[in-house]
Structure 1
């Protein structure tokens, strides 16, 4: 990977007390890629995001954003990052437009006719106080505050959990459109796997601080299968997980194994991302 990739994580460990919340994590995100970060509660997703943003300090390893150590980012590099948290807190005394104008004083807005798309999507009353907004409205405001400055790297931690179905649907349409148009990189964590499968280029599954899977969608569809029984020892595949019904997830599938499976009377299915996630999260 080029050192100038938006995100490069190398052997990063985060320890809290005596527990490794993240353990020797490697993760590279190149320009223009949308990466879905999946994992059960407690897997370390929010901790990873906190380290990427410099809010938490890794215990070991390194993180660079566009080649700069995350703890030493230049103002220019910080201005290229947009972050959407799980919930917007603080700033409750501001009105919506006042808060937008206040934050705009610290960041340059690009001269781009598309930069109002997020405000139009959010459809918030500019005169409303932040404290009067519903949970979904606050989340729409958090998205606007992160994206109206046209960032090149967008990090989102459960951004759609409190959105109504229509707002969520529209957001999941607008986000990849924005990323493709701008060449922006996106790291998005969400439990709504069907949304992420539709928009993502790559799936990263985190479990107990370890990355269990890091593959593009085409790689998953090409090389991962769920088969009716454990594979014979001489098959050139890696066992990823076993299900309670006796079926087995394997990686490294080749087309010639299709005939071998038929000869063994073994059913073979292509992967479903949600089923794969559930199997690797146990």
Structure 2
């Protein structure tokens, strides 16, 4: 089988354009478009049913889209040549394969599938995983299986990692240590990560970009540096009948992201402290964490 020549530029590892995936009458992906650049750690954020797992399935070639394009390293995701697929790593939500293999045997066995044998696993990662190499996979706990899955995904030092709820089975200390290992793995390199997790406090520590999805579409996309600097709640003060008009009528470069109908507060993108003079003591500025913003943006 021949493969079309890649079209990616050095600026992108992933290029998704107008991606549509339909199951029966449900559009799980409804024209989704997004790119991921080298070196980015992208947090994929969305409620259940938003399209996250479908997107991951299309990227891995497990699902074929109805229309649109999903390219990785310049190739259509469903047609990746072996040398491109060898540059990817994947951690599923749960690992249930190879139950009769011993841990060390499985690590070595999967390494034989690469044209260029991968180096031994990173000692720091093995120390974190703390697995008995002689234990059979079927005897491992859920958390131990998840650690093994992570070791296998990182074993060949991939350039692009897809992590689907990689820490859901781990205790808080193991989650914290893994996030530190992930940050170290990507630091100063061109390695990219797409990570989906409902534990947003973990993502907030490591992600360089937040991709909010709902109803099969990207509803907001922001670098984490911008999130911290410019996404704010504007909350009417007690006794204020309304927010100052110029915060809402387009005279200021603010993008409304959601409204709390109970308090009249508005979540906006584009805030800067120079705008405080427009408040006239009628509003307070509050900084949301990633979870609070997620709940409002994907409502």
TM-score (structure 2 length as normaliser): 0.88
CA contact (8 A) 1:115 1:149 kept: no
Structural mapping, 1:31-110, within 5 Å: 31-107=38-114, 108-110=116-118
* 1:127 alignment counterpart: 134
Q: Structure 2 CA distance, aligned partners of 1:73 and 1:22?
A: 21
Structure 2 unaligned spans of 5+: 1-6, 237-242
Q: Cα distance, 1:43 vs. partner?
A: 1.1
CA deviations on 1:137-181 (whole Å, 9 max, x unpaired) are: 000010011101111101100000101222111101101101115
Q: Structure 2 CA distance, aligned partners of 1:181 and 1:250?
A: 32
* 2:284 alignment counterpart: 267
* 1:147 alignment counterpart: 154
* 2:223 alignment counterpart: 216
Structural mapping, 1:183-198, within 5 Å: 183-198=190-205
Which of 153, 167, 172 is the equivalent residue of 1:165?
172
* 2:251 alignment counterpart: 235
Q: Could you list the structure 1 runs, at least 4 aligned residues long, displaced by more than 6 angstroms after superposition.
A: none
Aligned length: 280
Instruction: Supply the RMSD in Å over aligned alpha carbons.
Output: 1.8
Q: Structure 1 CA distance, aligned partners of 2:185 and 2:269?
A: 33
Q: Determine helix, strand or coil for the equivalent of 1:203.
A: strand
Q: Structure 2 CA distance, aligned partners of 1:234 and 1:257?
A: 13
Distance 1:35 1:194, change over 3 A: same
TM-score (structure 1 length as normaliser): 0.93
Q: Structure 1 CA distance, aligned partners of 2:112 and 2:119?
A: 15
Distance 1:234 1:68, change over 3 A: closer
Q: Structure 2 CA distance, aligned partners of 1:275 and 1:2?
A: 35
